[in-house]
Amino acid sequence: MEAINLNRLAYFVAVVDAGSFTRAAARLGITKTVVSQQVARLEADLRTTLLLRTTRRVEPTEAGRLLHARSVIILREAEDAFGEVAEVTTNPIGTLRIAAPNDFGTSTVAPLLAKFCRTYPACTVDLVLSDAKIDLIAHHIDVSIRVGWLADSSVQARRIGAFRQLLVAAPDLARMISADVPDNLDQHPFIANGALREPLVWHFSRADFDRRTVRMRPAMTINATPAVLAATLAGGGLSVLPDFLVADPLQTGALVQILTDWSLPSGGIHVVYPAARFRPPKVTAFVAMLEAEVKRPPIASHGSTVLT
Amino acid sequence: MEAINLNRLAYFVAVVDAGSFTRAAARLGITKTVVSQQVARLEADLRTTLLLRTTRRVEPTEAGRLLHARSVIILREAEDAFGEVAEVTTNPIGTLRIAAPNDFGTSTVAPLLAKFCRTYPACTVDLVLSDAKIDLIAHHIDVSIRVGWLADSSVQARRIGAFRQLLVAAPDLARMISADVPDNLDQHPFIANGALREPLVWHFSRADFDRRTVRMRPAMTINATPAVLAATLAGGGLSVLPDFLVADPLQTGALVQILTDWSLPSGGIHVVYPAARFRPPKVTAFVAMLEAEVKRPPIASHGSTVLT
DNA sequence: AATCACTGTGTGCTATTCGCTTACAATCTG
DNA sequence: CAGATTGTAAGCGAATAGCACACAGTGATT
Among A residues 129-188, those touching chain B with beta carbons less than 8 Å apart: 136-138, 140, 142
Residue B275 pLDDT? 82
Which 3-state string (H, E, C) describes A193-248? Answer: ECCCCCCCEEEEEECCCEEEEEECCEEEEECCHHHHHHHHHCCCCEEEEEHHHHHH
Helix (H) or strand (E) holding B158, with range, is: strand B158-163
Convert the pLDDT of each residue in B53-88 to its tens digit. Answer: 887 788 899 999 999 999 999 999 999 999 999 998
C-beta separation of B155 from B273 below 8 A: no
Burial annotation B14-52 (CB, 10 A radius, 16+ → b, else e): bbbebebbebbbeebeeebeebbebbeebbeebebbbbb
B197 vs A152, higher pLDDT:
B197
- At how many degrees (to 10) do helices B62-90 and B281-295 cross? 10
Confidence of residue B155 (pLDDT cuts 50, 70, 90): low
Convert the pLDDT of each residue in B225-269 to its tens digit. Answer: 999 999 999 999 999 999 999 999 999 999 999 999 898 998 889
Total residues belonging to chain A: 308
Contacts of A59 in chain B (CB under 8 A): 137-138, 140
Question: Quick one: which residue's CA is nearest to D18's C1'?
Answer: B34
Residue B301 pLDDT? 46
- At how many degrees (to 10) do helices A281-295 and A110-119 cross? 130
Strand order in the sheet with A267-272: A123-129, A94-100, A143-148, A267-272, A158-163
Among A residues 121-140, those touching chain B with beta carbons less than 8 Å apart: 136-138, 140
Q: pTM above 0.85?
A: no
Q: Is strand D less than 7 A from the beta carbon of A61?
A: no
**pLDDT less than 50: residues of chain A:** 153, 300-308
Average pLDDT value for residue range B85-106: 92
Question: Quick one: which residue's CA is nearest to D24's C1'?
Answer: B55
At residue B121, what are phi and psi to the nearest 5 degrees?
A: -65, -20
Q: How far apart are CA A280 and CA A94, in angstroms?
A: 10
Residue A53 pLDDT? 87
At residue A74, what are phi and psi to the nearest 5 degrees?
A: -60, -45
Residue A2 pLDDT? 61
Convert the pLDDT of each residue in B114-149 to its tens digit. Answer: 999 999 999 999 999 988 888 888 888 999 998 888
Closest to B103 in 3D by CA, of B282, B253, B298? B298
Q: Is strand D less than 7 A from the beta carbon of A135?
A: yes
